[in-house]
Amino acid sequence: MYKIKVSTTLQTEMIDITAQVQKLVDGQKTGEGICTVFIPHTTAGITINENADPAVRRDMLVELNKVVPEREYFTHIEGNSAAHIKASLIGSSVSVPLEKGKLALGTWQGIYLCEFDGPRSREVWMQVINSI
Protein backbone atom coordinates (compact mmCIF):
# COMPACT_ATOMS: atom_id res chain seq x y z
CA MET A 1 0.00 0.00 0.00
CA TYR A 2 1.25 3.45 -0.93
CA LYS A 3 -0.04 6.68 0.53
CA ILE A 4 0.18 10.26 -0.64
CA LYS A 5 -0.94 13.42 1.09
CA VAL A 6 -2.92 16.07 -0.73
CA SER A 7 -3.69 19.48 0.76
CA THR A 8 -6.93 20.97 -0.47
CA THR A 9 -7.44 24.71 -0.43
CA LEU A 10 -11.15 25.22 -1.10
CA GLN A 11 -14.39 23.93 0.41
CA THR A 12 -15.20 22.07 -2.79
CA GLU A 13 -12.70 21.37 -5.54
CA MET A 14 -11.39 18.68 -7.86
CA ILE A 15 -7.63 18.12 -7.82
CA ASP A 16 -5.90 16.22 -10.62
CA ILE A 17 -3.73 13.50 -9.00
CA THR A 18 -3.01 11.55 -12.20
CA ALA A 19 0.70 12.42 -12.26
CA GLN A 20 1.17 11.33 -8.63
CA VAL A 21 -0.58 8.02 -9.32
CA GLN A 22 1.54 7.42 -12.43
CA LYS A 23 4.68 8.18 -10.39
CA LEU A 24 3.75 5.39 -7.98
CA VAL A 25 3.10 3.02 -10.88
CA ASP A 26 6.50 3.95 -12.40
CA GLY A 27 8.18 2.91 -9.15
CA GLN A 28 6.55 -0.52 -9.27
CA LYS A 29 8.06 -1.51 -12.62
CA THR A 30 4.77 -3.15 -13.47
CA GLY A 31 3.91 -4.06 -17.05
CA GLU A 32 0.32 -5.18 -17.07
CA GLY A 33 -1.98 -5.01 -14.10
CA ILE A 34 -4.33 -2.73 -12.26
CA CYS A 35 -3.94 0.24 -9.95
CA THR A 36 -6.57 0.95 -7.35
CA VAL A 37 -6.86 4.48 -6.00
CA PHE A 38 -8.80 4.81 -2.76
CA ILE A 39 -9.61 7.75 -0.51
CA PRO A 40 -10.00 6.94 3.22
CA HIS A 41 -12.33 9.85 3.99
CA THR A 42 -16.09 10.31 4.24
CA THR A 43 -16.38 13.84 2.85
CA ALA A 44 -14.15 13.48 -0.21
CA GLY A 45 -14.25 11.18 -3.22
CA ILE A 46 -12.23 9.86 -6.14
CA THR A 47 -13.39 10.01 -9.74
CA ILE A 48 -12.17 9.97 -13.33
CA ASN A 49 -13.26 12.73 -15.69
CA GLU A 50 -12.11 15.23 -18.28
CA ASN A 51 -8.60 16.64 -17.96
CA ALA A 52 -8.74 19.19 -20.79
CA ASP A 53 -11.27 21.93 -20.10
CA PRO A 54 -11.31 23.02 -16.42
CA ALA A 55 -14.87 24.24 -16.99
CA VAL A 56 -16.01 20.62 -16.78
CA ARG A 57 -14.76 20.38 -13.19
CA ARG A 58 -16.34 23.72 -12.33
CA ASP A 59 -19.67 22.66 -13.87
CA MET A 60 -19.60 19.32 -12.03
CA LEU A 61 -19.05 21.03 -8.68
CA VAL A 62 -21.67 23.71 -9.32
CA GLU A 63 -24.24 21.06 -10.23
CA LEU A 64 -23.34 18.75 -7.33
CA ASN A 65 -23.69 21.69 -4.94
CA LYS A 66 -27.10 22.47 -6.46
CA VAL A 67 -28.30 18.87 -6.29
CA VAL A 68 -27.06 18.40 -2.71
CA PRO A 69 -27.15 21.72 -0.82
CA GLU A 70 -26.84 21.95 2.96
CA ARG A 71 -30.35 21.59 4.41
CA GLU A 72 -31.57 23.00 7.70
CA TYR A 73 -33.38 19.72 8.37
CA PHE A 74 -30.16 17.67 8.27
CA THR A 75 -29.48 16.30 11.73
CA HIS A 76 -25.79 15.31 11.58
CA ILE A 77 -24.17 17.17 14.47
CA GLU A 78 -21.03 18.04 12.50
CA GLY A 79 -23.12 20.05 10.03
CA ASN A 80 -21.53 18.65 6.88
CA SER A 81 -24.09 16.12 5.67
CA ALA A 82 -24.07 17.57 2.14
CA ALA A 83 -20.35 16.75 1.92
CA HIS A 84 -20.99 13.19 3.13
CA ILE A 85 -23.76 12.72 0.53
CA LYS A 86 -21.65 14.10 -2.32
CA ALA A 87 -18.74 11.86 -1.30
CA SER A 88 -20.97 8.79 -1.56
CA LEU A 89 -22.42 9.92 -4.89
CA ILE A 90 -18.90 10.25 -6.34
CA GLY A 91 -17.53 7.12 -4.65
CA SER A 92 -14.34 6.40 -2.76
CA SER A 93 -12.19 4.56 -5.31
CA VAL A 94 -11.35 3.91 -8.93
CA SER A 95 -9.45 1.08 -10.60
CA VAL A 96 -7.35 1.84 -13.66
CA PRO A 97 -5.84 -0.83 -15.92
CA LEU A 98 -2.09 -0.68 -16.56
CA GLU A 99 -0.65 -1.18 -20.01
CA LYS A 100 3.11 -1.37 -20.48
CA GLY A 101 3.60 0.31 -17.12
CA LYS A 102 1.31 3.24 -17.84
CA LEU A 103 -2.14 4.09 -16.57
CA ALA A 104 -4.44 3.09 -19.42
CA LEU A 105 -6.60 6.20 -19.32
CA GLY A 106 -8.49 7.67 -22.23
CA THR A 107 -6.96 10.71 -23.90
CA TRP A 108 -9.20 13.11 -22.02
CA GLN A 109 -9.31 11.30 -18.70
CA GLY A 110 -7.67 12.32 -15.45
CA ILE A 111 -7.95 10.97 -11.90
CA TYR A 112 -9.41 13.48 -9.46
CA LEU A 113 -9.58 13.86 -5.73
CA CYS A 114 -12.96 15.51 -5.08
CA GLU A 115 -12.96 17.67 -1.97
CA PHE A 116 -16.38 18.44 -0.49
CA ASP A 117 -15.48 19.70 2.99
CA GLY A 118 -12.20 21.51 2.68
CA PRO A 119 -9.77 22.88 3.06
CA ARG A 120 -8.20 19.84 4.66
CA SER A 121 -5.21 17.56 4.53
CA ARG A 122 -6.25 14.38 2.71
CA GLU A 123 -4.66 11.03 2.05
CA VAL A 124 -4.99 8.87 -1.03
CA TRP A 125 -4.09 5.19 -0.76
CA MET A 126 -2.99 3.22 -3.79
CA GLN A 127 -2.18 -0.37 -4.59
CA VAL A 128 -0.76 -1.91 -7.75
CA ILE A 129 -1.65 -5.48 -8.66
CA ASN A 130 0.40 -7.26 -11.32
CA SER A 131 -1.23 -9.55 -13.82
CA ILE A 132 0.79 -12.38 -15.26
How many whole angstroms separate alpha carbon 98 and alpha carbon 37?
13
Indicate whether 59 belongs to the interface with Zn ion (CB under 5 A): no
Indicate whether 80 belongs to the interface with Zn ion (CB under 5 A): yes
Of 8-16, 61-69, 70-78, 106-114: span binding Zn ion (CB under 5 A): 70-78
Return the number of the residue (30 or 80) whose C-beta is nearest Zn ion: 80
CA dihedral 63, 67, 72, 73 (to 10 degrees): -160
3-state SS of 102-120?
EECCCCCEEEEEEECCCCC
Smallest gap from residue 78 Cβ to Zn ion (A): 3
Chain contacts with Zn ion (rule: CB under 5 A): 78, 80
